[in-house]
C-alpha cells in the first residue's frame, strides 16, 4: 500500500515549487497500446525557435534526485521518456512501451518495449535499460524523490527479446499512473547516468543543449527521434523574476509563450487581442484554507463547518483566480478518477448557517483566530476576502504574513497555526488524510487509512474508485479543511503557436507537438494538445 506509506510534501504554487510530492492514481485496464506518443502537427513549418517564459529555474538537471517541479517541467517528456506517460487529459498512454498487459490478479505487468529507439547520444535503448532504470529507482538508498511510490514492486526483469515484466507484491491499480507521472519512470541510458545532473541523455523529442543557471535551458529537436518530430527546431525556457517581466517579454516578442501565469488576472491584458491565445485547463492543485483540527475551537466539527459556510468560494475564485478554475468541496479535482463535483455543494455560502453553528458549538459571540499566509498571490489575494467573510460571522480574524521557509517550519512542520491558505499541488494526494501526524491533525486519520487500504486492494477499478469517493465524501462531511478551488493552468501564447498542452495535469510542459503555424492533428487534439 504505497499511498499510505509515502512521505507527502506541500508546494507553494504551481510553477514555483521546490517541494512537489507524487501521488496516487491509476489505470486498471487489462492492457493498452498506442501509436507514436507525438501525433504531430500538420502543415507546420517544421522549423523556427520557440522561447517559453517561466517563473522558476531548475536548481539542477537531475530529476531523479531532486523534487523541484522546474526540472520536470523542462526535461520530462521533452528530453526523457517513460514506458507509459500521461497525455494532457491525464490519461495513461504507452510511449517507450508499444503495449502492455496486466495479469487478471493485478500482480504482473508485461511491457513490450518499443524497438528502434535511440538515446540522444546514439546508444540503442533496450529492455536492459528499462530494467536498469527501474531497479535504480528501487535500490536501497535511492535518492529518487518519489521512490516510495514503487515500494510494492517485487521484481523487474527482462523477458524474451523485447519485454519487461514487473511483478508487484499486492494489486495496485495506480501503478501505471505512478510510472507515468513522475521521475521514477524515466528510462535512462545506463552508460550515461553518471552525468545526468549536467548533461541529460534521453530518448525524447528534444535533445539537451545548454543550461544557464537562473537564466535559461535550451533544447533542440532530436534528429533521431523515433516518433513524429516536433514542429520547432529549438526550444528555450527563459526565466523571469516577476510576472510583469514575463508579460512584457511576451508582448514585445522576446518570448512566444508564458507557460503558466503567476497572476491569472494578468490574462485580461491578452484577452480579446488576436495576436495572442489563452489556453486554460485544470491542474492537480487544491487551493484550500487548511484548518488545524487540533487547535482550540477548530477541534470542533461545527466550527469547521461554520468556516466552510462563511466563505464564498465562487467569489474567492473570481477575485483570486480571475475565474480560471473550479470550485471544489474535498480533496478531489476534475482530473481524479474519483472526482465528485457534487461535493462542492456540501457547504454552499450561507453566513446565517455559519453563525448558527458557531452558537451551537458554544461560541455565540464568536472567537478570535489567526490566518497565516505564505507570500504567494493566491494566498495574499484571497486572505483579505476570507478575513472579511469570517469577521462577518464572528470569527475575528487577524492576518499574519510569513515567508515560505517560516511557513514550512511553523505551519507545515510544527502545526503551529490555526488557519492558513495553501495550494496542495500533489496529484491525487488524498492519502494525506490517512497520516495522523500530518499538519492539519485530522482525528479521523485511522478511519481514512482503513478505508483507503480496502479501496487499494480492490482488483476491480470501479470498486477502488467507489472506495476513494467514500473517503472524499467523509473528508467533506467532517469539514477537515475549507476547500476553495482547483486552479487552472493559464498559458498565454502567440496566436500562431500550436500544440501546447491544454492542462496542468502533468509535471511536464510537454512540447512534443509544439509548432509555429500549422494545425494540430486529430490524434494530438484528442490527447489534449491545443490548436
pLDDT digits (tens, 9 = 90+) for 205-235: 999 999 999 999 999 999 999 999 999 999 9
The DSSP element (H or E) to which 53 belongs, if any, is strand 49-54
d(C-alpha 249, C-alpha 473), whole Å: 44
Q: Please report the pLDDT score of residue 178 as a whole number.
A: 93
d(C-alpha 519, C-alpha 512), whole Å: 14
Q: Please report the pLDDT score of residue 16 as a whole number.
A: 32
pLDDT digits (tens, 9 = 90+) for 338-365: 999 999 999 999 999 999 999 999 999 9
Rounded mean pLDDT, 462-490: 97
Q: Please report the pLDDT score of residue 188 as a whole number.
A: 98
pLDDT digits (tens, 9 = 90+) for 254-312: 999 999 999 999 999 999 999 999 999 999 999 999 999 999 999 999 999 999 999 99
pTM: predicted TM-score of the whole model, two decimal places = 0.88
Contacts of 15 (CB under 8 A, 6+ apart): 54, 55, 56, 69, 70, 73, 259, 260, 262
pLDDT digits (tens, 9 = 90+) for 53-105: 999 999 999 999 998 989 999 999 999 999 999 999 999 999 999 999 999 99
- pLDDT reading at 187 higher than 70: yes
How large a percentage of the chain has pLDDT more than 90?
85
Q: Which CATH class is domain 286-487?
A: alpha beta
CATH classification number, 2-205+495-527, choose in 1.10.10.10, 1.20.1250.20, 3.90.76.10, 3.30.1300.10: 3.90.76.10
Q: Please report the pLDDT score of residue 209 as a whole number.
A: 98
pLDDT digits (tens, 9 = 90+) for 367-381: 999 999 999 999 999
d(C-alpha 192, C-alpha 468), whole Å: 41
- 394, β-bridge pairs: none
d(C-alpha 191, C-alpha 206), whole Å: 19
Question: What are the extents of the domains in the chain?
Answer: 2-205+495-527, 286-487
pLDDT digits (tens, 9 = 90+) for 159-179: 988 999 999 998 888 899 999
Pull the grid cell for residue 492.
498565454
Contacts of 10 (CB under 8 A, 6+ apart): 19, 21, 412, 422, 424, 426
Rounded mean pLDDT, 126-146: 96
Amino acid at each position: 500500500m504505497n499511498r499510505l506509506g509515502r512521505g507527502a510534501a506541500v508546494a507553494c504554487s504551481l510553477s514555483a515549487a521546490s517541494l512537489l510530492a507524487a501521488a496516487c492514481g491509476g489505470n486498471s485496464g487489462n492492457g493498452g497500446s498506442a501509436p507514436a506518443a507525438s501525433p504531430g502537427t500538420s502543415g507546420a513549418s517544421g522549423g523556427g525557435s520557440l522561447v517559453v517564459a517561466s517563473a522558476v529555474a531548475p536548481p539542477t538537471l537531475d530529476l531523479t534526485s531532486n523534487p523541484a517541479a522546474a526540472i520536470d517541467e523542462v526535461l520530462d517528456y521533452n528530453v526523457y521518456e517513460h514506458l507509459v506517460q500521461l497525455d494532457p487529459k491525464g490519461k495513461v498512454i504507452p510511449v517507450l512501451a508499444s503495449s502492455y498487459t496486466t495479469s487478471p490478479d493485478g500482480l504482473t505487468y508485461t511491457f513490450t518495449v518499443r524497438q528502434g529507439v535511440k538515446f540522444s547520444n546514439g546508444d540503442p535503448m533496450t529492455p536492459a535499460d528499462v530494467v536498469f532504470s527501474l531497479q535504480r529507482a528501487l535500490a536501497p538508498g535511492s535518492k529518487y524523490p518519489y521512490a516510495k511510490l514503487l515500494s510494492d514492486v517485487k521484481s523487474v526483469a527482462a523477458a524474451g527479446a523485447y519485454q519487461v515484466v514487473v511483478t508487484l507484491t499486492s494489486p495496485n491499480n495506480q501503478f501505471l499512473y505512478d510510472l507515468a507521472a513522475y521521475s521514477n519512470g524515466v528510462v535512462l541510458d545506463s552508460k550515461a547516468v553518471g552525468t545526468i545532473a549536467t548533461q541529460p541523455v534521453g530518448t525524447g523529442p528534444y535533445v539537451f543543449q545548454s543550461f544557464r543557471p537562473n537564466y535559461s535551458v535550451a533544447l533542440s529537436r532530436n534528429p533521431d527521434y523515433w516518433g513524429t518530430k516536433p514542429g520547432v527546431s529549438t526550444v528555450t525556457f527563459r526565466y523571469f523574476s516577476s510576472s510583469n517581466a514575463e508579460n512584457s517579454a511576451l508582448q514585445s516578442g522576446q518570448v512566444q509563450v508564458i507557460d503558466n501565469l503567476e497572476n491569472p488576472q494578468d490574462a485580461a491584458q491578452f484577452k480579446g487581442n488576436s495576436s495572442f491565445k489563452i489556453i486554460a485547463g485544470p491542474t492537480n492543485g487544491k487551493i484550500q484554507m487548511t484548518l488545524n483540527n487540533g487547535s482550540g475551537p477548530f477541534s470542533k466539527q461545527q466550527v469547521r463547518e461554520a468556516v466552510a459556510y462563511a466563505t464564498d468560494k465562487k467569489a474567492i475564485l473570481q477575485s483570486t483566480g480571475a475565474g480560471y478554475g473550479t470550485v471544489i468541496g474535498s480533496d478531489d479535482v476534475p482530473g481524479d478518477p474519483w472526482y465528485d463535483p457534487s461535493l462542492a455543494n456540501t457547504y454552499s455560502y450561507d453566513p446565517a448557517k455559519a453563525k448558527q453553528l458557531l452558537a451551537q458549538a458554544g461560541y455565540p459571540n464568536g472567537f478570535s483566530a489567526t490566518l497565516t499566509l505564505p507570500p504567494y498571490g493566491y494566498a495574499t489575494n484571497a486572505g483579505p476576502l476570507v478575513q472579511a467573510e469570517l469577521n462577518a460571522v464572528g470569527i475575528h480574524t487577524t492576518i499574519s504574513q510569513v515567508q515560505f521557509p517560516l511557513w514550512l517550519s511553523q505551519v507545515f512542520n510544527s502545526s503551529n497555526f490555526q488557519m492558513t491558505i495553501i495550494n496542495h499541488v500533489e496529484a491525487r494526494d488524498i492519502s494525506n488524510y490517512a497520516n495522523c501526524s500530518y499538519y492539519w491533525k485530522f482525528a479521523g486519520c485511522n478511519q481514512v487509512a482503513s478505508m483507503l487500504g480496502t479501496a487499494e486492494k480492490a482488483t476491480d477499478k470501479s470498486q477502488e474508485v467507489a472506495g476513494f469517493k467514500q473517503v472524499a465524501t467523509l473528508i467533506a462531511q467532517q469539514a477537515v479543511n475549507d476547500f476553495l478551488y482547483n486552479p487552472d493552468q493559464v498559458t498565454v501564447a502567440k496566436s500562431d503557436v500550436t500544440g501546447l498542452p491544454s492542462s496542468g495535469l502533468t509535471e511536464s510542459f510537454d512540447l512534443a507537438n509544439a509548432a509555429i503555424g500549422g494545425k494540430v492533428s486529430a490524434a494530438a487534439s484528442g490527447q489534449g494538445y491545443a490548436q
